[in-house]
Structure 1
Protein backbone atom coordinates (compact mmCIF):
# COMPACT_ATOMS: atom_id res chain seq x y z
CA UNK A 1 0.00 0.00 0.00
CA UNK A 2 1.48 3.35 -1.06
CA UNK A 3 1.93 6.11 1.46
CA UNK A 4 -0.20 9.24 1.24
CA UNK A 5 2.64 11.71 1.66
CA UNK A 6 0.32 14.70 1.61
CA UNK A 7 -1.64 13.46 4.64
CA UNK A 8 1.54 12.38 6.44
CA UNK A 9 3.18 15.77 5.82
CA UNK A 10 0.12 17.79 6.82
CA UNK A 11 -0.30 15.90 10.09
CA UNK A 12 3.44 16.15 10.79
CA UNK A 13 3.19 19.89 10.10
CA UNK A 14 0.63 20.02 12.90
CA UNK A 15 3.19 18.50 15.26
CA UNK A 16 5.94 20.86 14.06
CA UNK A 17 3.62 23.85 14.33
CA UNK A 18 2.84 22.97 17.94
CA UNK A 19 6.54 22.59 18.72
CA UNK A 20 7.41 25.86 16.95
CA UNK A 21 4.77 27.85 18.81
CA UNK A 22 5.82 26.36 22.16
CA UNK A 23 9.40 27.39 21.39
CA UNK A 24 8.31 30.85 20.29
CA UNK A 25 6.09 31.72 23.25
CA UNK A 26 8.59 30.30 25.75
CA UNK A 27 11.35 32.53 24.38
CA UNK A 28 9.45 35.66 23.29
CA UNK A 29 6.08 35.61 25.04
CA UNK A 30 4.41 36.08 21.64
CA UNK A 31 2.28 33.82 19.43
CA UNK A 32 0.75 34.31 15.97
CA UNK A 33 -2.98 34.18 16.64
CA UNK A 34 -4.13 32.25 13.55
CA UNK A 35 -1.46 29.55 13.86
CA UNK A 36 -2.39 29.02 17.51
CA UNK A 37 -6.11 28.99 16.81
CA UNK A 38 -5.69 26.30 14.15
CA UNK A 39 -4.02 23.99 16.67
CA UNK A 40 -6.43 24.63 19.51
CA UNK A 41 -9.45 24.10 17.27
CA UNK A 42 -7.93 20.79 16.09
CA UNK A 43 -8.44 19.41 19.58
CA UNK A 44 -12.20 19.69 19.14
CA UNK A 45 -12.29 17.95 15.73
CA UNK A 46 -13.12 14.39 16.71
CA UNK A 47 -14.50 12.92 13.46
CA UNK A 48 -12.74 14.62 10.52
CA UNK A 49 -13.58 13.72 6.92
CA UNK A 50 -9.91 13.95 5.99
CA UNK A 51 -6.58 15.18 7.32
CA UNK A 52 -6.90 18.81 6.34
CA UNK A 53 -10.33 18.99 8.02
CA UNK A 54 -8.46 18.67 11.32
CA UNK A 55 -6.80 22.00 10.56
CA UNK A 56 -9.66 24.15 9.38
CA UNK A 57 -9.81 22.88 5.80
CA UNK A 58 -6.79 24.75 4.41
CA UNK A 59 -3.07 23.89 4.22
CA UNK A 60 -2.41 27.62 4.71
CA UNK A 61 -3.35 27.16 8.36
CA UNK A 62 -0.26 24.96 8.72
CA UNK A 63 2.21 27.29 7.03
CA UNK A 64 4.26 27.71 10.21
CA UNK A 65 4.56 23.94 10.59
CA UNK A 66 5.38 23.33 6.94
CA UNK A 67 8.19 25.91 7.09
CA UNK A 68 9.51 24.28 10.25
CA UNK A 69 9.61 20.88 8.53
CA UNK A 70 11.71 22.32 5.71
CA UNK A 71 14.05 24.19 8.07
CA UNK A 72 14.53 21.12 10.26
CA UNK A 73 14.56 18.21 7.81
CA UNK A 74 15.75 19.66 4.49
CA UNK A 75 18.39 22.26 5.35
CA UNK A 76 21.53 22.58 7.39
CA UNK A 77 19.74 24.92 9.81
CA UNK A 78 18.42 22.07 11.92
CA UNK A 79 20.92 22.80 14.69
CA UNK A 80 19.29 26.19 15.30
CA UNK A 81 15.97 24.35 15.54
CA UNK A 82 17.24 21.90 18.14
CA UNK A 83 14.58 22.68 20.74
CA UNK A 84 11.80 22.43 18.15
CA UNK A 85 13.00 19.01 16.98
CA UNK A 86 13.30 17.87 20.60
CA UNK A 87 9.71 18.91 21.24
CA UNK A 88 8.53 17.10 18.09
CA UNK A 89 10.23 13.87 19.14
CA UNK A 90 8.89 14.29 22.66
CA UNK A 91 5.32 14.79 21.41
CA UNK A 92 5.59 11.65 19.29
CA UNK A 93 6.89 9.71 22.28
CA UNK A 94 4.03 10.93 24.50
CA UNK A 95 1.50 10.01 21.84
CA UNK A 96 2.88 6.48 21.65
CA UNK A 97 2.55 6.10 25.41
CA UNK A 98 -0.95 7.59 25.37
CA UNK A 99 -2.27 5.22 22.71
CA UNK A 100 -1.77 2.31 25.10
CA UNK A 101 -3.84 3.92 27.82
CA UNK A 102 -7.49 3.47 26.89
CA UNK A 103 -8.57 4.64 30.34
CA UNK A 104 -6.75 7.93 29.89
CA UNK A 105 -8.02 8.35 26.33
CA UNK A 106 -11.59 8.00 27.60
CA UNK A 107 -11.04 10.66 30.25
CA UNK A 108 -9.51 12.99 27.66
CA UNK A 109 -12.39 12.43 25.25
CA UNK A 110 -15.00 13.21 27.89
CA UNK A 111 -13.23 16.33 29.10
CA UNK A 112 -12.57 17.60 25.57
CA UNK A 113 -16.28 17.30 24.89
CA UNK A 114 -17.02 19.39 27.98
CA UNK A 115 -14.43 21.99 27.04
CA UNK A 116 -15.79 22.22 23.49
CA UNK A 117 -18.96 23.81 24.88
CA UNK A 118 -16.78 26.37 26.64
CA UNK A 119 -14.93 27.04 23.38
CA UNK A 120 -18.20 27.56 21.51
CA UNK A 121 -19.22 30.17 24.06
CA UNK A 122 -15.95 32.05 24.60
CA UNK A 123 -13.91 31.17 21.50
CA UNK A 124 -11.16 28.51 21.20
CA UNK A 125 -8.29 30.68 22.41
CA UNK A 126 -10.07 32.39 25.32
CA UNK A 127 -8.03 32.20 28.52
CA UNK A 128 -10.73 30.10 30.21
CA UNK A 129 -10.58 27.53 27.41
CA UNK A 130 -6.78 27.48 27.43
CA UNK A 131 -6.83 26.97 31.19
CA UNK A 132 -9.25 24.03 30.82
CA UNK A 133 -7.10 22.42 28.13
CA UNK A 134 -3.99 22.96 30.23
CA UNK A 135 -5.70 21.24 33.16
CA UNK A 136 -6.62 18.24 31.00
CA UNK A 137 -3.01 17.94 29.81
CA UNK A 138 -1.63 18.31 33.34
CA UNK A 139 -3.97 15.70 34.83
CA UNK A 140 -3.51 13.12 32.05
CA UNK A 141 -0.58 13.23 29.63
CA UNK A 142 1.67 15.13 32.02
CA UNK A 143 1.43 12.30 34.57
CA UNK A 144 3.68 10.07 32.44
CA UNK A 145 7.23 9.70 33.75
CA UNK A 146 8.50 11.20 30.51
CA UNK A 147 7.84 14.92 30.32
CA UNK A 148 8.81 17.55 27.80
CA UNK A 149 11.12 20.12 29.36
CA UNK A 150 10.34 23.49 27.77
CA UNK A 151 13.30 25.85 27.47
CA UNK A 152 12.76 29.58 27.45
CA UNK A 153 12.71 32.84 29.35
CA UNK A 154 11.65 32.24 32.96
CA UNK A 155 9.93 35.62 33.09
CA UNK A 156 7.50 34.31 30.46
CA UNK A 157 7.20 30.71 31.61
CA UNK A 158 6.30 31.72 35.17
CA UNK A 159 3.24 33.59 33.91
CA UNK A 160 0.12 31.47 34.39
CA UNK A 161 -1.40 32.55 31.08
CA UNK A 162 1.69 31.55 29.11
CA UNK A 163 2.11 28.30 31.05
CA UNK A 164 -1.47 27.40 30.10
CA UNK A 165 -0.80 28.22 26.46
CA UNK A 166 2.30 26.02 26.46
CA UNK A 167 0.39 23.06 27.90
CA UNK A 168 -2.54 23.55 25.52
CA UNK A 169 -0.14 23.65 22.56
CA UNK A 170 1.65 20.51 23.73
CA UNK A 171 -1.77 18.89 24.03
CA UNK A 172 -2.54 19.89 20.45
CA UNK A 173 0.84 18.52 19.37
CA UNK A 174 0.01 15.12 20.83
CA UNK A 175 -3.32 15.24 18.98
CA UNK A 176 -1.51 15.94 15.69
CA UNK A 177 0.95 13.14 16.43
CA UNK A 178 -2.01 10.80 16.87
CA UNK A 179 -3.39 11.71 13.46
CA UNK A 180 0.10 11.50 11.94
CA UNK A 181 0.40 7.87 13.07
CA UNK A 182 -3.16 7.12 11.90
CA UNK A 183 -2.32 8.19 8.34
CA UNK A 184 0.90 6.16 8.25
CA UNK A 185 3.53 8.42 9.82
CA UNK A 186 6.55 6.82 11.52
CA UNK A 187 9.71 8.04 13.25
CA UNK A 188 11.85 6.18 10.71
CA UNK A 189 10.43 8.35 7.91
CA UNK A 190 11.92 11.42 9.58
CA UNK A 191 15.34 9.80 9.30
CA UNK A 192 15.23 7.70 6.14
CA UNK A 193 12.70 9.68 4.09
CA UNK A 194 13.10 13.19 5.45
CA UNK A 195 13.85 14.58 1.98
CA UNK A 196 10.60 13.12 0.65
CA UNK A 197 8.66 14.74 3.48
CA UNK A 198 10.46 18.07 3.03
CA UNK A 199 9.74 18.00 -0.72
CA UNK A 200 6.04 17.51 -0.02
CA UNK A 201 6.14 20.37 2.49
CA UNK A 202 7.74 22.59 -0.16
CA UNK A 203 5.10 21.58 -2.71
CA UNK A 204 2.32 22.46 -0.26
CA UNK A 205 3.93 25.81 0.54
CA UNK A 206 4.25 26.66 -3.17
CA UNK A 207 0.56 25.84 -3.63
CA UNK A 208 -0.35 28.08 -0.68
CA UNK A 209 1.65 31.00 -2.06
CA UNK A 210 0.22 30.52 -5.55
CA UNK A 211 -3.27 30.96 -4.15
CA UNK A 212 -2.36 33.99 -2.06
Structure 2
Protein backbone atom coordinates (compact mmCIF):
# COMPACT_ATOMS: atom_id res chain seq x y z
CA UNK A 1 0.00 0.00 0.00
CA UNK A 2 1.31 3.46 -0.91
CA UNK A 3 2.47 5.52 2.03
CA UNK A 4 0.74 8.82 2.75
CA UNK A 5 3.80 11.03 3.15
CA UNK A 6 1.67 14.08 3.98
CA UNK A 7 0.32 12.41 7.14
CA UNK A 8 3.68 10.82 7.98
CA UNK A 9 5.39 14.21 7.68
CA UNK A 10 2.80 15.94 9.85
CA UNK A 11 3.17 13.31 12.58
CA UNK A 12 6.96 13.54 12.37
CA UNK A 13 6.68 17.31 12.72
CA UNK A 14 4.69 16.68 15.90
CA UNK A 15 7.65 14.69 17.25
CA UNK A 16 10.26 17.26 16.21
CA UNK A 17 8.12 20.12 17.57
CA UNK A 18 8.19 18.43 20.98
CA UNK A 19 11.96 17.94 20.62
CA UNK A 20 12.48 21.64 19.83
CA UNK A 21 10.27 22.73 22.74
CA UNK A 22 12.28 20.53 25.13
CA UNK A 23 15.47 22.08 23.77
CA UNK A 24 14.11 25.63 24.26
CA UNK A 25 13.11 24.83 27.83
CA UNK A 26 16.40 23.15 28.72
CA UNK A 27 18.59 25.96 27.38
CA UNK A 28 16.45 29.07 27.95
CA UNK A 29 13.73 28.13 30.45
CA UNK A 30 11.26 29.64 27.94
CA UNK A 31 9.38 28.22 24.96
CA UNK A 32 7.10 29.11 22.08
CA UNK A 33 3.69 29.23 23.78
CA UNK A 34 1.60 28.58 20.64
CA UNK A 35 3.65 25.54 19.67
CA UNK A 36 3.51 24.33 23.28
CA UNK A 37 -0.29 24.67 23.33
CA UNK A 38 -0.54 22.69 20.07
CA UNK A 39 1.60 19.90 21.53
CA UNK A 40 -0.32 19.75 24.83
CA UNK A 41 -3.67 19.88 23.07
CA UNK A 42 -2.68 16.92 20.88
CA UNK A 43 -2.78 14.75 24.03
CA UNK A 44 -6.54 15.34 24.32
CA UNK A 45 -7.33 14.21 20.75
CA UNK A 46 -8.45 10.65 21.38
CA UNK A 47 -10.55 10.13 18.25
CA UNK A 48 -9.34 12.63 15.64
CA UNK A 49 -10.95 12.90 12.20
CA UNK A 50 -7.53 13.29 10.55
CA UNK A 51 -3.83 13.54 11.29
CA UNK A 52 -3.98 17.33 11.03
CA UNK A 53 -6.92 17.41 13.47
CA UNK A 54 -4.57 16.11 16.20
CA UNK A 55 -2.69 19.41 15.86
CA UNK A 56 -5.67 21.74 15.81
CA UNK A 57 -6.54 21.35 12.13
CA UNK A 58 -4.05 23.99 10.91
CA UNK A 59 -0.71 23.31 9.24
CA UNK A 60 0.71 26.53 10.73
CA UNK A 61 0.33 25.01 14.22
CA UNK A 62 3.21 22.70 13.26
CA UNK A 63 5.42 25.36 11.64
CA UNK A 64 8.09 25.06 14.35
CA UNK A 65 8.02 21.27 14.09
CA UNK A 66 8.23 21.31 10.29
CA UNK A 67 11.17 23.72 10.32
CA UNK A 68 12.86 21.57 12.98
CA UNK A 69 12.18 18.46 10.88
CA UNK A 70 13.86 20.10 7.89
CA UNK A 71 16.84 20.77 10.13
CA UNK A 72 16.92 17.19 11.40
CA UNK A 73 16.69 15.77 7.86
CA UNK A 74 19.47 18.12 6.69
CA UNK A 75 21.46 17.83 9.90
CA UNK A 76 25.22 17.84 10.02
CA UNK A 77 24.56 16.33 13.48
CA UNK A 78 26.69 18.71 15.48
CA UNK A 79 25.76 20.71 18.55
CA UNK A 80 22.12 21.68 18.86
CA UNK A 81 21.15 19.88 15.63
CA UNK A 82 22.52 16.62 17.03
CA UNK A 83 20.53 17.20 20.22
CA UNK A 84 17.28 17.53 18.25
CA UNK A 85 18.02 14.37 16.28
CA UNK A 86 18.76 12.50 19.52
CA UNK A 87 15.49 13.63 21.13
CA UNK A 88 13.53 12.71 18.00
CA UNK A 89 15.00 9.19 17.75
CA UNK A 90 14.68 8.68 21.52
CA UNK A 91 10.95 9.48 21.37
CA UNK A 92 10.52 7.01 18.49
CA UNK A 93 12.36 4.29 20.46
CA UNK A 94 10.31 4.96 23.60
CA UNK A 95 7.06 4.81 21.62
CA UNK A 96 8.00 1.32 20.40
CA UNK A 97 8.49 0.23 24.02
CA UNK A 98 5.11 1.71 24.94
CA UNK A 99 3.40 0.07 21.99
CA UNK A 100 4.78 -3.32 23.03
CA UNK A 101 3.36 -2.94 26.54
CA UNK A 102 -0.43 -3.18 26.34
CA UNK A 103 -0.85 -2.59 30.08
CA UNK A 104 1.11 0.68 29.87
CA UNK A 105 -0.91 1.73 26.80
CA UNK A 106 -4.18 1.10 28.66
CA UNK A 107 -2.97 2.99 31.73
CA UNK A 108 -1.88 5.89 29.54
CA UNK A 109 -5.33 6.07 27.95
CA UNK A 110 -7.05 5.95 31.34
CA UNK A 111 -4.83 8.66 32.82
CA UNK A 112 -5.38 10.97 29.84
CA UNK A 113 -9.14 10.42 30.09
CA UNK A 114 -9.02 11.46 33.74
CA UNK A 115 -7.54 14.79 32.65
CA UNK A 116 -10.89 15.72 31.13
CA UNK A 117 -12.29 16.14 34.65
CA UNK A 118 -9.45 18.45 35.65
CA UNK A 119 -9.88 20.52 32.50
CA UNK A 120 -13.35 21.52 33.69
CA UNK A 121 -11.61 23.51 36.42
CA UNK A 122 -8.14 24.33 35.02
CA UNK A 123 -6.71 25.73 31.77
CA UNK A 124 -4.66 23.39 29.58
CA UNK A 125 -1.50 25.41 30.15
CA UNK A 126 -1.99 25.75 33.90
CA UNK A 127 0.58 24.46 36.39
CA UNK A 128 -1.96 21.92 37.64
CA UNK A 129 -2.52 20.33 34.20
CA UNK A 130 1.16 20.47 33.26
CA UNK A 131 2.00 18.80 36.58
CA UNK A 132 -0.59 16.07 35.86
CA UNK A 133 0.84 15.45 32.38
CA UNK A 134 4.37 15.33 33.81
CA UNK A 135 3.14 12.78 36.37
CA UNK A 136 1.69 10.60 33.60
CA UNK A 137 5.05 10.67 31.81
CA UNK A 138 6.98 9.78 34.97
CA UNK A 139 4.59 7.01 36.05
CA UNK A 140 3.71 5.37 32.73
CA UNK A 141 6.25 6.18 30.02
CA UNK A 142 9.62 6.80 31.71
CA UNK A 143 9.81 3.35 33.40
CA UNK A 144 9.69 1.69 29.98
CA UNK A 145 13.18 3.11 29.22
CA UNK A 146 15.61 4.02 27.84
CA UNK A 147 15.64 7.34 29.71
CA UNK A 148 15.75 10.44 27.51
CA UNK A 149 18.74 12.50 28.61
CA UNK A 150 17.79 16.17 28.43
CA UNK A 151 20.79 18.50 28.16
CA UNK A 152 20.91 22.24 28.72
CA UNK A 153 21.54 24.70 31.54
CA UNK A 154 21.84 22.79 34.84
CA UNK A 155 20.43 25.80 36.75
CA UNK A 156 17.36 25.93 34.50
CA UNK A 157 16.84 22.18 34.57
CA UNK A 158 16.77 22.19 38.37
CA UNK A 159 13.62 24.34 38.29
CA UNK A 160 10.62 22.08 39.12
CA UNK A 161 8.31 24.02 36.76
CA UNK A 162 10.75 23.56 33.88
CA UNK A 163 11.07 19.87 34.72
CA UNK A 164 7.27 19.48 34.63
CA UNK A 165 7.03 21.28 31.27
CA UNK A 166 9.82 19.12 29.82
CA UNK A 167 8.03 15.92 30.88
CA UNK A 168 4.64 17.13 29.63
CA UNK A 169 6.28 18.01 26.30
CA UNK A 170 7.98 14.62 26.06
CA UNK A 171 4.57 13.02 26.63
CA UNK A 172 3.24 15.06 23.68
CA UNK A 173 6.22 13.83 21.65
CA UNK A 174 5.23 10.25 22.48
CA UNK A 175 1.66 11.05 21.36
CA UNK A 176 3.01 12.25 18.01
CA UNK A 177 5.23 9.14 17.73
CA UNK A 178 2.19 6.89 18.32
CA UNK A 179 0.37 8.79 15.57
CA UNK A 180 3.41 8.53 13.29
CA UNK A 181 3.35 4.74 13.59
CA UNK A 182 -0.42 4.66 13.03
CA UNK A 183 -0.15 6.54 9.72
CA UNK A 184 2.66 4.32 8.41
CA UNK A 185 5.82 5.96 9.71
CA UNK A 186 9.00 3.94 10.26
CA UNK A 187 12.59 4.73 11.11
CA UNK A 188 13.72 3.17 7.82
CA UNK A 189 12.12 6.15 6.07
CA UNK A 190 14.70 8.40 7.73
CA UNK A 191 17.34 6.53 5.77
CA UNK A 192 15.62 5.53 2.54
CA UNK A 193 12.86 8.12 2.04
CA UNK A 194 14.61 11.20 3.42
CA UNK A 195 14.18 13.20 0.20
CA UNK A 196 10.44 12.49 0.07
CA UNK A 197 10.01 13.61 3.68
CA UNK A 198 12.16 16.69 3.00
CA UNK A 199 10.15 17.68 -0.07
CA UNK A 200 6.84 17.10 1.71
CA UNK A 201 7.93 19.18 4.72
CA UNK A 202 9.12 21.98 2.41
CA UNK A 203 5.76 21.98 0.59
CA UNK A 204 3.78 22.20 3.84
CA UNK A 205 6.01 24.99 5.24
CA UNK A 206 5.41 26.93 2.02
CA UNK A 207 1.67 26.96 2.86
CA UNK A 208 2.13 28.05 6.48
Q: Is the Cα contact below 8 Å between 1:15 and 1:177 reproduced in 2? A: yes
Displacement of 1:4: 0.6
Per-residue displacement from partner, 1:140-164 (whole Å, max 9, x unpaired)?
Answer: 1111231100001011111111000
CA deviation map 1:109-145 (0-9, x unaligned) = 1111111222343221111000000001101111123
Q: Provide structure 1 residue ranges, at least 5 long, that are not aligned to the other structure.
A: none
Structure 1 length-normalised TM: 0.95
Shift of 1:40: 0.3
Which residue of the partner structure matches residue 153 of structure 2? 153
1:2 is displaced (CA, Å) by: 1.0
CA contact (8 A) 1:71 1:78 kept: no
**Structure 1 position 187 matched with structure 2 position 161:** no
Secondary structure of residue in 2 paired with 1:53: helix
Taking the aligned partners of 1:25 and 1:5, their CA distance within structure 2 comes to 30
The 1-side partners of 2:13 and 2:181 are apart by 13
In the superposition, relative to structure 1, how do residues 9 and 120 fare at CA in structure 2: closer, same or farther (>3 Å)?
farther
Distance (whole Å) between structure 2 residues aligned to residue 67 and residue 145 of structure 1:
28
Match of 1:135 in 2: 135
Q: Structure 2, unaligned stretches of length 5 or more?
A: none
Q: Which residue of 2 aligns with 1:66?
A: 66
* Alignment size in residue pairs: 207
The correspondence of residues 114-129 of structure 1 with structure 2, limited to 5 A, is: 114-129=114-129
> Which position in structure 2 is the counterpart of 1:22?
22
Partner residue, 1:207: 207
- Pairwise CA RMSD of aligned residues? 1.1
| TM-score normalised over the length of structure 2 | 0.96
Q: Distance in 2 between matches of 1:103 and 1:202?
A: 38
